[in-house]
A and B are shown apart, each in its own frame.
Chain A
Amino acid sequence: MAMIEEPLYPIAVLIDELKNEDIQLRLNSIRRLSTIARALGDERTRKELIPFLSENNDDDDEVLLAMAEELGVFIPYVGGVEYANVLLPPLETLCTVEETCVRDKAVESLCRIGAQMREQDLVEYFIPLVKRLAAGEWFTARVSSCGLFHIAYSSAPETLKTELRTIYSQLCQDDMPMVRRSAATNLGKFAATVEPAHLKTDIMSIFEDLTQDDQDSVRLLAVEGCAALGKLLEPQECVAHILPVIVSFSQDKSWRVRYMVANQLYELCEAVGPEPTRSDLVPSYVRLLRDNEAEVRIAAAGKVTKFCRILNPELSIQHILPCVKELSTDSSQHVRSALASVIMGMAPVLGKDATIEQLLPIFLSLLKDEFPDVRLNIISKLDQVNQVIGIDLLSQSLLPAIVELAEDRHWRVRLAIIEYIPLLASQLGVGFFDDKLGALCMQWLKDKVYSIRDAAANNVKRLAEEFGPEWAMQHIIPQVLDMTNNSHYLYRMTILHAISLLAPVMGPEITCSKLLPVVINASKDRVPNIKFNVAKVLQSLIPIVDQSVVEKTIRPCLVELSEDPDVDVRFFANQALQSSDQVMMST
């Protein structure tokens, strides 16, 4: 038994707890691995700690995950880059565990270490590791190996490079779909390190195999590879080899593959360049917009604006706009919703005339959609709406839509529209904010759902900020104060909350003259919840108002509350009194 001096006691505990029964303690120790390493010094870290970790790798996944992460930044603690290779064995074992997140982290850490290792060490230690994993008995090791090739490849000598390419192509034909998926996912990264000559031959043939895999899940990932590979190839190569694949993928039997194409098409267009996009990809895109499967249309509809931006206006109007019109009346609400969230971005692309003539009717019909999400998506892009069609036209069609959403029976919809009100206010100005909308804002303060009342109180504050105290004095304060006599205490509480939010915006003068009396009055409420909220509000008012007001009005009220029969009221009153003492002392 070693004698441990007192200053070392905590670190000794930390080391011992690497093997504690309690997983939380083990986890904490692993997270402090760098401290342990510093305490042991680099040499003992290399010779004892790292082998110790390598041997004790059958721990719970949470601990292994933490270990994989820590080891990724461990080079300084083992004595610098020249010793980085000692970190490989424990990570190699972690690359073979069944839990995907642990493996992924181990691969990430290995890549991080590999990127710093000296070239001769990579050849001596890292590349053999990659080869061992790629030949692993269990698929878990092979899955991990795929993510390491791009680090290993560039420093390998010519013969090894050939070998690595061969191994990678074998991984792409592995029996286990998991391995093929991993190879497909990492192909882009690996391809980026491969010389152009081999890119055109070896990598392209690997890629072609993957695109013809009989597992959907593998082909899906090959779609992602299209964009990555396309960016590496010369434009004409890309048109020759990648474009046909994209076009055939866009007509794949599996909707999941088409969905992937719809999601990636924009990146693919960037890879092939504008000319081939116009000639070859427009028909594919139009087909995706009209796909049988709603999921595919959703993905395609969401990219309408981005896609139009690479096209010229004529092509957009000629090919895309008719599809957009169809999609605006699509049977799936999710398709319409996806379209609604991007459609306004098309306006600058199409130009004013086409917008007013063709886009506006679509936009207005979406604004009247039966599905609230569609309407909300349009309203959330109001800034773009305003620029395009102007305020008059907007107010005519917008107002009914807002009113309807404001009264929607789903509180989440109401909540969403409340959150857009300040934006609307700033976009449209005071003029637009007529009695109708003002009344709505007040109505929300009396909503049945707490979240709505809470949001409504915040909304009132943000409106006051937007339009200034003077406007608020006329349009908000009287109405809010009117509600203090509501018979339900929950509504009275909302008003107190609104007052505490409004006070800082309105400034000391209005607070003292208008708001404070109402609060003081509320302190005589019969409901204790109101009374202790009064105490809380008064506390929040102390820094705002003048010291004399605190002395004359607030403190007496609080003192009275501090003698209340209810314990909570007394508690919050005393808390408020204490804070007022502190404010006094500091001034």
Chain B
Amino acid sequence: MILANPGAMNGGDEVVAAPVGPPQQLEWKFSQVFGERTAGEEVQEVDIISAIEFDRTGDHLATGDRGGRVVLFERTDTKDNGGSRRDLERIDYPISRHPEFRYKTEFQSHEPEFDYLKSLEIEEKINKIRWCQTANGSLFLLSTNDKTIKFWKVQEKKIKKISDMNLDPLKGVGNGSVASSSNSVNPKSYLANGGFQDRLSNDFSFPPGGISSLRLPTVTSQETSLTARCRRVYAHAHDYHINSISNNSDGETFISADDLRINLWNLEISNQSFNIVDVKPTNMEDLTEVITSAEFHPTHCNMLAYSSSKGSIRLIDLRQSALCDSHAKLFEELEVPGSRSFFTEIIASISDIKFGKDGRYILSRDYMALKLWDINMDSGPVSTFQVHEYLRPKLCDLYENDSIFDKFECCLSGDGLRVATGSYSNLFRVFGCASGNTEATTLEASKNPMRRQAQTPARPSRSLSSSITRVVRRGAENPGADANGNSFDFTTKLLHLAWHPTENSIACAAANSLYMYYA
């Protein structure tokens, strides 16, 4: 395995190894912001960030936006100081070392299109980005909009200067200009080397020592530039909108999921895919449930999980059969009898699922809460973290303005000890999920993330349940917002965020700005 950042890995281990007492509550600090808005600046629709993803090492970060662009950032703090984190800590310098990123490059991944057969506009908005295996120093990633997945290679290319040509470069090489500059010869023979064959007849014999007057061009290059090239396009395989893509640990396949189907692709083959899950009923009127998110297990190449609009997560085993319509395991929470309302099903819909790094846990986000599931326990979630419980009285309004259908993403820290998800008013919440850790922090995506913190109770109330495995933690309900008269702003929602794979660092998107925090 290639670890570009071994120090960071140790960092993760250290947290796990700390045996005494509950882990400390993290104190989050602002690190960086890209694309910060000035006061009163209006956000352009195309600039709104719609996907965030760290690569496996955490040295790169990609964002996608509604304008179909992908922007890459690279970590700067590891490259300069070579030593591992442990070494640095031993030196006991008070340097605050946290992941810092700089803009690397950007490219236009998708363009708006029109499907003439179905009279449908296809937005260029990037729905998901996934990093693939790095090779030869080039970066590879998959990006998708509603219909088309693309495989990108971003590589540093040398800018070449070519000199020492056989023919005067001023006259141009090869094409028309050479021909026109030389009247004595048949222009056709110089059009390209296609014409060369006719010209160099078979009886032309080369002298045994070669022709000394010919020379190879000299190529000099000093500068390099980053170029992104689209290597493959995986198109025309989805009738509905793609909501997820996910790489397999085997390094050669990936899945793409839309509302009703999940397809399996080989990265190298773009003209065929295999349908592995199909929940489309023969009669569309019987449709009650759609796929909302899907992800491969991080280490078992045969396992994948997908979530549904009814709040269930299905784990499937690709070994069982070619078409995995029957799941290996089903995770869902039984609804409390008598609590059913018009909104029950809407708010139960899972907007995102993520496997923890070791593949033991799955984190899911529905409209109201984050839930952590142990894949060995299908009777219910291990923990539940309330995120939007205070919105319960307002569901009717939220339904009216469609906010109830907002799809919030969730993420786990690399060490699996904490989880995070977004909310309204550009807030996001971080919860501790290790046993004994009752941490629940609300942060604002701004330069002062703890601004809202004062309003929340320092210690969240614990539920009475004594079972260690099934603790339902009530996060701070943030009642202050209402008390202060700041009603929640449903237009500023923080949907997308990602946790650095090895460090306590979160990147999150507030409209067109990318905020980074560390602890």
Contacts and interface: CB of A to CB of B under 8 A. Distances in A.
Interface of A: 1-20, 22, 24-25, 28-29, 32, 35, 38-45, 48-49, 52, 55-56, 58, 96-98, 100, 137-140, 175-178, 181, 214-217, 252-257, 292-295
B162 interface: yes
A16 B138 contact: no
Given A19-B162, A32-B196, A13 B208 contact: no
Contact of B138 (A22, A98, A139, A256): A98
A577 B196 CA distance: 38
A293 B320 CA distance: 8
Interface in B133-190: 133-138, 140, 153, 157-158, 160, 162, 165-168, 173-175, 178, 184-185, 189-190
Nearest to B208: A41
B166 to A, nearest CB: 4
A25 B192 contact: yes
A6 B173 contact: no
Contact of A38 (B166, B189, B206, B322): B206
Nearest 6 interchain pairs by C-beta: A41-B210, A12-B166, A254-B319, A10-B196, A98-B135, A10-B199
Contacts of B302: 216, 254
Given A6-B184, A98-B153, 11 more contacts: A2-B213, A2-B214, A3-B213, A7-B204, A28-B192, A40-B210, A177-B301, A214-B300, A216-B302, A216-B318, A217-B301
Task: Classify the interface of chain B: helix, strand, loop or mixed.
Answer: loop
Interface in B316-334: 318-322
Interface stretch (B36-44, B245-253, B437-445): B245-253
15 contacts: A10-B196, A10-B199, A15-B216, A16-B167, A17-B193, A22-B174, A25-B192, A41-B208, A48-B216, A56-B219, A138-B2, A177-B251, A181-B252, A216-B318, A252-B319
Contact of B322 (A1, A58, A295): A295
Contacts of A214: 300
Contacts of B207: 41
A202 B207 CA distance: 53
A176 B252 CA distance: 11
A13 B167 contact: yes
B211 interface: yes
B200 interface: yes
Q: Please indicate which of the listed interface residues A11, A13, A25 has the most CB atoms of chain B within 10 Å of its own CB.
A: A13
A32 B195 CA distance: 13
B94 interface: no
Contact of A216 (B133, B173, B301): B301
Contact of B251 (A97, A176, A253): A176
B217 interface: yes
Contacts, number: 173
A138 B135 contact: yes
B219 A32 contact: no
B268 interface: yes
Contacts of A7: 204
Given A4-B213, A16-B173, A177-B301, A255 B320 contact: yes
Given A138-B135, A177-B301, A40 B217 contact: no
A10 B199 CA distance: 7
A293 B199 contact: no
Contact of B216 (A38, A52, A96, A176): A52
A13 B196 contact: yes
B213 A5 contact: yes
B194 interface: yes
A28 B196 CA distance: 10
B214 A8 contact: yes
B215 interface: yes
Contacts of A295: 322
A29 B193 contact: yes
Contacts of B162: 19
B252 A178 contact: yes
Contact of A139 (B135, B168, B193, B195): B135
A253 B193 CA distance: 56
Nearest to A293: B321
B209 interface: yes
